[in-house]
Structure 1
Amino acid sequence: MHTVEIVLLVLLLGSLTGIAARYVRAIPLPLIQIALGALMAWPQKGLHIAFDPELFLLLFIPPLLFADGWRIPKREFFALHRPILLLALGLVLFTVLGLGWLIHWLIPGMPLTVAFALAAVVSPTDAVAVSAITRNLGMPEKTMHILEGESLLNDASGLVALKFAIVATLTGLFSWTEVAKEFMWMALGGLGVGALLGWGFAHGRSTITRRLGDVAATQMVLLLALLPFAAYIVGEKIGVSGILAAVAAGITTNFADLERSSYVSERMQTEGTWSLIEASFNGAIFLLLGLQLPSIIGVNLHDAGDQWWMLILYVVLVSSALLLMRWIWLTLGVQGSLARAHHQGKMAERPSHLLNLLTTMAGIRGAVTLAGALSVPMLLNNGQPFPGRNMLIFLATGTILFTLVLGSISLPLILRRLPPPGESPTVREERLARSEACHAAMRGLTLSDEEIHSNTAEWVHMHQEVMGHLTQEYRNRAQLLDDGSGTALSIEAQREAPEVVRQRKLRYVLELELRLRCIHLERDTLYAERQAHRINDESLRHLVSELDMQEIALRKRLTVARRAAAMTDEEARTVEH
């Protein structure tokens, strides 16, 4: 099949499996997608595909990492930076060295550099798979934030370590000094390139939209969707980490978004676009794993012959060692930083052996592990086959399946044994932010001296009447946007005296205008709460999304109301009839 056809097919199947997962809630979506891909490819005449690993890495990974950097709560990310860095960098180094030597000892025929490459491939975790398994099961919030931060950074560190291992295999040369220098250059250079591109895009977008407003929203969202590809390509072209460039671009863009509270259309289109990209691309990657699974298993079983059971044993041993090393690192290396974070109020969950076990089992491998394994070149520089490539891909695939299945079984069981949490800190923060927004809206309803003197007494009286009505709504903590039953125009109202009808129309328009003003004040207050770190990015997106939808509905009603208020009596009777 042509590459374009393959991409379109897996995107289609990804959407269909997403729908199917709503009916089969007991099985995590990634497992459904892998199983479907394997069923499609297993028969003799099944779907067998081959694609360029570098194209695969470019097409699927940058937008997913960009979205992770854009969405991750920055407050929690920086507050919990110590345990996150210990997991994302320290654990990756511990895994690459320790597991690499273990794999070389288990499989003497696999060169040490290839064993290091396999250890690097299986070091990145997949927080998306964890989220799919633990949805609605009460996963501790801060623990999930640590897992998201770890996944965001160890994707880059694992793939950078993989690149060094591949280069060492291709050239036969390895120097710790050169590796350290190259790693610093690639890491810092990638972060710098991504931040620079993200800042440049944000500055250009701000300049354009200051003049055009939300008219250019669609074009800005399209450019934003292309930004991770640009960051990745530019980073790779100049010899730094394109993966880290995509991550840094996402984080930088998110910070710039905090200054764009008034661009409703752009914000809603952006949310919808990235939700679509994340769902489609994550599904496509697991489907591609399923499509590759029969050929990966078939090749290795053919090579193993009667020793096929050794392959299964290798998968179990490598996966178990991977999780054991994770548990050891959490217990000995991260426990102290988690305890400090708890005592400082940055983490509500008290560190415990059960929480360590939960975090260990949450070390599921997924999309980036598959992408890294398939990106291993087929040939050495001298034209010889890359040593142990088929075995590397088989063990990486087996590790993905092992950790997915084990996590699907163990995580719900562990979560049931955790003590019931109290009120979520995020829920409490959202409640306080809503309260602050309501108070800001009530403060904004007062009339200034200039407005009183520049308008008629009739307008001032009408304004005060509507203001009292809205203030009472806020005081009662009612819904901001009601169904309009108390003020909507009706045929019966239009049969009243013309002056009464005119007053009703004007009052309705004024009420909608004041409601819009309140929404703007509430939204500005929420952004101020985020900038003061009293709520996180997730809460901001959730609360602002509610206000955006209310504003869109209000604007439509206001347009209709203004048109009705501008009608003459004769036009109104025409509409009535």
Structure 2
Amino acid sequence: METISIILLLLLAVILSGILSRVLPLPFPRPLFQIALGAGIGLAADWRVTLDPEIFFLLFLPPLLFLDGWRIPREELFKDGKTILELALGLVVFTVLGMGLFINWMIPSMPLAVAFALAAVVSPTDPIAVSAIAKRVPIPKRMMHILEGESLLNDASGLVCLRFAIAAALTGAFSIQDAAFNFLWVAFGGVAVGTGVTWAIARTKTWISRHYGEEGGSQILISLLIPFASYLVAEHLHCSGILAAVAAGLTMGFVERTGEIEATTRIRRSTVWDTIQFTANGIIFVLLGEQLPVILANAAETVRTTGHHEPWWLAIYVVAINIGLAGLRFLWVWLSFRLTLFRVGQWKQSPNWRVVAAMSFAGVRGAITLAGVLTLPLAMGDGSPFPARDLAIFLAMGVIIVSLIVASIGLPLLLNGLQMPAEPSHQAEENAARVAAAEAAIAAVERIEHARAEGRSDADLYVAAASRIMDTYRQRIESRRGDAETIATERILEQIERELGLAALKAERAEIFRRTRHGELGSELSRKLIREIDLLEARYGG
């Protein structure tokens, strides 16, 4: 019963965080409100959530990473593939080496292997918090795609570095050759497992649907189980479950291009996944805040680990680590952009410092850092306590919170009027696709009209209905094939149509609800009509 109560309280905190982030006029993203609410729960209640890192990884990370991989624009991911790999792999190694040495120099009481472990857990970035900030101040699309691609891959590289650092701390030995081979197996094995599991499940599901029909609930449940299956199989083979979940999401995007799933199933499935994403993201940060009181309660003992007695030294260390992370990221991003995005042929000048600074501020830490630092073992091989474990956890928590606050304040200032390298317009591509789709629709209507209407007494009804539908598609074709002035006029008409259409649909819905309240319309029929209106409103993007 207590476990259920805790879960319900966490869900309530997630809901309240969404309300507070909209009501309070503060320039902070939702994750900070969730951390604050979690801290309030930790202070006010006697409940304590013991975070088992393995369970934490399994419950939250596979579905979130799977969904990110599924929904990320694959063309954008491949277009900036070099930049993303430079950030996801090169920057992680650069950060681990640089920050590991810096932390060990700043805190000599922390062993070098533990310092590298701490550097490894703070190296991956978190796109969840950046997305929350982007809702307040829009981030340029290309920058957001780079950040999303980086975060999909740097989780695995950071956790692999963490694994090697922990092994070195426990054994006192480290082999670069073994680490390199292990990294290749972990990375490529994880990608292969995620791709293979998803492809096999998709092919099996398609075969069953073709021969025995489709059941929407089963289709949705299968999509929910794929990331967990990929993660568990990869971990069983000692590969990266994180990369397996990402690869599964990317593969899902490819196998879904056949369009064999029914439209209603896709709509319902998208709604389910949106709810899971909102809930899981929120619970992660609420749990982070809930852990803060326990960590702060041990601050006095933790600070003595550093050789000092004043607690404010911990704040100095947190700020110094954040400055170090930002400095290393700024330098690496500048070099990466200099060699890729801003090379001759795209932009002929050096990278704009605001672009580089914005990318550096966007390196927010979050769920992976929290989960990673909690995987530090409690004891060494001889049974003695793992050195500076509480200190590492405190510093990692501090880095998460400070990076969120700094990004919330700094990103809006840097992004105001910021221009990324120019991107080609996709308007012509969109127009061509709409015209081709409309022509295919007209051809299909004509085929059915000729096949069904011939020799029937109600043939004129088929002709009339087909004419009405084809007129709509012909109007769409004309609006997309006209000159620039005609297309501009059509866009204005579309905006007006959207405004009027939304107003009409809202009036329809209000009337349906009024009749339902007064007993003039049954609840079942009411739900049917409301769903039809909702789907039409979704067409307008309302």
For the superposition of Structure 1 and Structure 2, which TM-score range results when normalised by the shorter chain? 0.7 to 0.9
2:314 match: 311
1:549 match: 535
2:11 match: 11
| Structure 1 contact 80–341 (Cα < 8 Å) conserved | no
Query: Structure 1 pair 381/327, CA: closer, same or farther in 2 (3 Å)?
Result: same
Deviations 1:297-321 (A, max 9, x none): 2212343263211111100010111
Deviations 1:505-549 (A, max 9, x none): xxxxxxxxxxxxxxxxxxxxxxxxxxxxxxxxxxxxxxxxx9993
2:207 match: 207
Q: How far apart are 1:250 and its partner, in Å?
A: 1.5
Q: How far apart are 1:112 and its partner, in Å?
A: 0.9
Q: How far apart are 1:448 and its partner, in Å?
A: 7.0
| Structure 1 contact 3–51 (Cα < 8 Å) conserved | no
What 5-or-longer segments of structure 1 have no aligned partner?
Answer: 485-545, 554-577
Secondary structure at the counterpart of residue 49 of structure 2: coil
Amino acid at match of 1:389: R
Query: Structure 1 pair 266/341, CA: closer, same or farther in 2 (3 Å)?
Result: farther
Q: How far apart are 1:353 and its partner, in Å?
A: 1.7
Write the distance in 2 (CA, Å) between the matches of 1:321 and 1:193.
Answer: 36
Is 2:366 aligned against 1:363? no
1:32 match: 33
Write the distance in 2 (CA, Å) between the matches of 1:444 and 1:130.
Answer: 45
Segment drifting more, 379-388 vs 412-421: 412-421
Q: How far apart are 1:131 and its partner, in Å?
A: 1.2
Provide TM-score, normalisation by structure 1: 0.77
Is 2:104 aligned against 1:101? no
Deviations 1:279-328 (A, max 9, x none): 11110110011001111122123432632111111000101110110000
| Structure 2 contact 361–407 (Cα < 8 Å) conserved | yes
Q: How far apart are 1:275 and its partner, in Å?
A: 0.9
Is 2:385 aligned against 1:382? no
| Structure 2 contact 197–248 (Cα < 8 Å) conserved | yes
Q: How far apart are 1:163 and its partner, in Å?
A: 1.4
Query: Structure 1 pair 182/421, CA: closer, same or farther in 2 (3 Å)?
Result: closer
Query: Structure 1 pair 209/414, CA: closer, same or farther in 2 (3 Å)?
Result: same
Is 2:325 aligned against 1:322? yes
Amino acid at match of 1:326: R
Amino acid at match of 1:330: V
Query: What aligned pairs does 1:174-193 form with structure 2 within 5 A after superposition?
Result: 174-193=174-193
Write the distance in 2 (CA, Å) between the matches of 1:169 and 1:421.
Answer: 44
| Structure 1 contact 95–325 (Cα < 8 Å) conserved | yes
- RMSD of aligned residue pairs (Cα, Å): 3.2
Q: How far apart are 1:405 and its partner, in Å?
A: 0.3
Query: Structure 1 pair 551/390, CA: closer, same or farther in 2 (3 Å)?
Result: closer
Segment drifting more, 217-226 vs 82-91: 217-226
1:234 match: 233
| Structure 2 contact 142–420 (Cα < 8 Å) conserved | no
Query: What aligned pairs does 1:113-192 form with structure 2 within 5 A after superposition?
Result: 113-135=113-135, 137-192=137-192
2:340 match: 337
Amino acid at match of 1:549: L
Identity between Structure 1 and Structure 2 (%): 44
Q: How far apart are 1:425 and its partner, in Å?
A: 4.1
Query: Structure 1 pair 313/447, CA: closer, same or farther in 2 (3 Å)?
Result: same
1:290 match: 289
Q: How far apart are 1:418 and its partner, in Å?
A: 1.7
1:221 match: 220
Q: How far apart are 1:261 and its partner, in Å?
A: 4.3
Query: Structure 1 pair 372/7, CA: closer, same or farther in 2 (3 Å)?
Result: farther
Secondary structure at the counterpart of residue 310 of structure 2: helix
Segment drifting more, 324-333 vs 220-229: 220-229
Write the distance in 2 (CA, Å) between the matches of 1:423 and 1:342.
Answer: 13
1:253 match: 252
1:69 match: 69
Write the distance in 2 (CA, Å) between the matches of 1:206 and 1:475.
Answer: 34
1:464 match: 463
Q: How far apart are 1:30 and its partner, in Å?
A: 0.2
Write the distance in 2 (CA, Å) between the matches of 1:151 and 1:428.
Answer: 31
Q: How far apart are 1:171 and its partner, in Å?
A: 2.0
Segment drifting more, 89-98 vs 464-473: 464-473
| Structure 1 contact 86–334 (Cα < 8 Å) conserved | no
2:400 match: 400
What 5-or-longer segments of structure 2 have no aligned partner?
Answer: 477-493, 506-531
Q: How far apart are 1:262 and its partner, in Å?
A: 4.5
Q: How many residues were matched structurally?
A: 486
Is 2:43 aligned against 1:42? yes
Q: How far apart are 1:191 and its partner, in Å?
A: 1.1
Write the distance in 2 (CA, Å) between the matches of 1:163 and 1:21.
Answer: 37
1:566 match: none
Query: Structure 1 pair 237/154, CA: closer, same or farther in 2 (3 Å)?
Result: same
Is 2:249 aligned against 1:263? no
Write the distance in 1 (CA, Å) between the matches of 2:533 and 2:257.
Answer: 16
Segment drifting more, 30-39 vs 268-277: 268-277
| Structure 2 contact 100–118 (Cα < 8 Å) conserved | yes
| Structure 2 contact 21–33 (Cα < 8 Å) conserved | yes
| Structure 1 contact 47–291 (Cα < 8 Å) conserved | no
Write the distance in 2 (CA, Å) between the matches of 1:225 and 1:3.
Answer: 23
Write the distance in 2 (CA, Å) between the matches of 1:420 and 1:403.
Answer: 23
Write the distance in 2 (CA, Å) between the matches of 1:449 and 1:230.
Answer: 47
Secondary structure at the counterpart of residue 307 of structure 1: coil
Segment drifting more, 94-103 vs 374-383: 374-383
| Structure 1 contact 53–376 (Cα < 8 Å) conserved | no
| Structure 2 contact 376–389 (Cα < 8 Å) conserved | yes
Segment drifting more, 404-413 vs 437-446: 437-446
Q: How far apart are 1:431 and its partner, in Å?
A: 5.5
Query: Structure 1 pair 309/418, CA: closer, same or farther in 2 (3 Å)?
Result: same
2:243 match: 244
Secondary structure at the counterpart of residue 42 of structure 1: helix
Amino acid at match of 2:160: V
Segment drifting more, 296-305 vs 156-165: 296-305
Q: How far apart are 1:80 and its partner, in Å?
A: 1.1
Secondary structure at the counterpart of residue 343 of structure 1: coil
